[in-house]
Chain A
Amino acid sequence: MTRRDSAARALGSTEHVEHGEALATQELPPFEAIYERYFEFVWASARRLGVSAAAVDDVVQEVFMLIHAKVHTLRDPAALRSWIYGVVRRTASDHRRAQRTKDASGAAMAAESDLAREAQPTPQELSEQSDQVKLLYSLLAELDEPKREVFILAELEEMSVPEIAAALEIPLNTAYSRLRNARQAFEERLARRTARLESGGRS
C-alpha cells in the first residue's frame, strides 16, 4: 500500500465524518456542490500559499477548472479535501514559478523556499486587522515552510492530521510529528514575544 493510500484509508475513519457528506456516503458530490463547499477553502489556501490578492481570482479559477477536469480520477471520495488542497498547492506553485519567469528580475528570482515572505498578507491587508491577527501572521512568518503549512492546515483550516498527511503526501507519523513541532515552535515564539512585550512595558 502506498503512503497516499494509507493516509487516504485513514480518512475513512469515523474521526473525520464531520468533514462532509462525501465522507459519510463515500460518493463524490457534483461539481457545483464541490464549488459551493470548497470555494472558500481553495481561495484561502491559495492566498496562504503565496498567491497575491491581485492574482487569486485567476488561480482559483484554474484550480476549479482542474477539479472539473480531473475529479473523476480521485480514487477515494473521502480524500476529496486533501486532493483539492494538492491541486491548489501545485497550481499556486506553478503560478509563482510563472510569475518569477515573467518578472525575471533579480528580486523576482527568489527561491521556492522564500515563500515564507511571499505568502504573507500585504502590510495594507494587515493594517486593517486586529493586533491579534497581526501577531498571528507575524509568528507564522517565523516558522519554516513545512511547519507553517501543517500548522495552517490543522489550526486555521481545521483539517485532521490524516487529511493533512494525504494532502501533503507525507506519512501519517511525519504529519503528526511535524504538527507537534509546529505547535511547539509557535508557542515558544509567542511566549518570547509576550515576555518581550511585558519586559518592555515594565521598563
Chain B
Amino acid sequence: MTKLVPAAQELVDAGRGFLRPNAGDKARVLAALQARLGTAPEPHAAPAPSPLATPVSAGRGGKLAAVAAGSVVLGALGYYFTRAGDAPVTKPLGVVASASAAPSSLAAPVLETPVASAESSPPSPSSSPLPSADASTARRPADRLGEEVSILSRAEAELHSGRFASALRLLDEHQRKFPNGKLSQERIAAKIQALCALGRSSDADAELARLAPDSVHEGRARAACSKTPSVNGR
C-alpha cells in the first residue's frame, strides 16, 4: 500500500490531534459513568493504594469497583468479567460494592487532572436502582440503558446464586420495560439459562429461536443450559 505524498502527510500529521478530548473530558465522562453504573460509595470504603489511584478515586473509592462488580454480573454468559472477579457476585449493580472486595487491579484508571468543577459534575444517581416504569420512560435514552444494565445485572447475580425463579422475574421485568432494549439479546440468553435450570426446556427452546441469527450468545446459552442442573421449582 502506497503512502501519502509528503504534502498530504503533513496535513494529516497536523490534524491528528484535532477533535481529541482533554484530561478534563476524560475525568468528567468517567465520573458520569461511575454514577450510572454504581451508586455513591460507603464512607469507609476507601480504596486500597494502587498505582491506578486517581484524584477521582481518592475521594470516591469503590465506585469503579462497583463498575467491575457489575461487569462480573453482566458477563455471566461470558468468561471475561468473571475472570476479573472469581467469586460470584451476589449484590446487584445498584448496591455499593466494597472496594476491598474488588481486586486492586480494578481501581480507577489514571486521570491526569482532578475532576472537573462542580457545575460540570454529573447529577447524583438516584438512591433507587430501579425507578418506576413511568419514571424510566420519561428518562433520556442514556439513562434507560443504565436501567437496562442495572436490571440485567441483578438478574445475572440471581442466576449466579442459583435463584433462577427470581432471575426469571427480573428478566421478565426487563422484557416488560425494554422489549426492544439495547440488551435484549443478553436478556434472552440469560433467560434461556434460567429456563433450562428450572427444567422448562420447551420454553428455553422458544427463547432460543428469538436470538438473532448468528448471535454470539447462542453457543454460550446452549453451553450454559447443558451445564446447568435442573432445579425444578427452585
Q: Which of A62, A68, A98: most chain B Cβ within 10 A?
A: A68
Q: Do A44 and B20 touch (CB < 8 A)?
A: yes
Q: Do B26 and A39 touch (CB < 8 A)?
A: yes
Question: Who on chain B is nearest to A47 by CB?
Answer: B19
Residue A112 lies at the interface, judged by CB distance under 8 Å to chain B: no
Report the bound CA distance from A139 to B11 in whole Å: 10
Stretch in A71-79, A103-111, A141-149 touching the partner: A71-79
Residue A43 lies at the interface, judged by CB distance under 8 Å to chain B: yes
Q: Which residues of B contact A57 (CB under 8 A)?
A: 25, 28-29, 32
Interface members, chain A 115-157 (any B CB < 8 Å)? 121, 125, 129-130, 132-133, 135-137, 139, 155-156
**A47-83 to B contact mask, C-beta < 8 Å, 1/0:** 1100000000110111011101111111100000000
Q: Which of B8, B10, B146, B186 contacts A70 (CB 8 A)?
A: B186
Q: Which of B68, B109, B183 contacts A69 (CB 8 A)?
A: B183
Question: Who on chain A is nearest to B149 by CB?
Answer: A69
**B216-234 to A contact mask, C-beta < 8 Å, 1/0:** 1100000000000000000
Interface members, chain A 4-44 (any B CB < 8 Å)? 28, 30-33, 35-36, 39-40, 43-44
Q: Do B8 and A187 touch (CB < 8 A)?
A: yes
Q: Which residues of B contact A85 (CB under 8 A)?
A: none
Interface members, chain B 1-47 (any A CB < 8 Å)? 1-2, 4-5, 7-8, 10-12, 14-16, 18-21, 25-26, 28-30, 32-33, 36-37
Stretch in B76-84, B166-174, B202-210 touching the partner: B76-84
Question: Who on chain B is nearest to A64 by CB?
Answer: B33
Report the bound CA distance from A149 to B12 in whole Å: 14
Given A33-B109, A187-B5, A39 and B32 touching (CB < 8 A)?
no
Q: Do B29 and A61 touch (CB < 8 A)?
A: yes
Question: Who on chain B is nearest to A33 by CB?
Answer: B109
Q: Which residues of B contact A156 (CB under 8 A)?
A: 12, 15-16
For the complex formed, measure the closest distance between the CB of B122 and the CB atoms of chain A, giving whole angstroms. 9
Stretch in B100-108, B126-134, B157-165, B192-200 touching the partner: B100-108
Q: Do A133 and B141 touch (CB < 8 A)?
A: no
Q: List 30 A-B contacts (CB under 8 A).
A: A28-B80, A30-B105, A30-B106, A31-B67, A31-B84, A32-B64, A32-B109, A36-B109, A39-B26, A40-B21, A43-B25, A44-B19, A44-B21, A58-B142, A61-B29, A61-B32, A66-B182, A69-B145, A69-B183, A72-B78, A74-B216, A98-B141, A132-B10, A132-B11, A132-B14, A135-B11, A137-B18, A156-B12, A179-B1, A187-B5
| Chain B residues at the A interface, C-beta cutoff of 8 Å | 1-2, 4-5, 7-8, 10-12, 14-16, 18-21, 25-26, 28-30, 32-33, 36-37, 52, 64, 67-68, 70-71, 74-75, 77-81, 84, 105-110, 140-142, 145-146, 148-149, 152, 182-183, 186, 214, 216-217
| Chain A residues at the B interface, C-beta cutoff of 8 Å | 2, 28, 30-33, 35-36, 39-40, 43-44, 47-48, 57-58, 60-62, 64-66, 68-75, 98, 121, 125, 129-130, 132-133, 135-137, 139, 155-156, 161, 176, 179-180, 183, 186-187, 190, 194
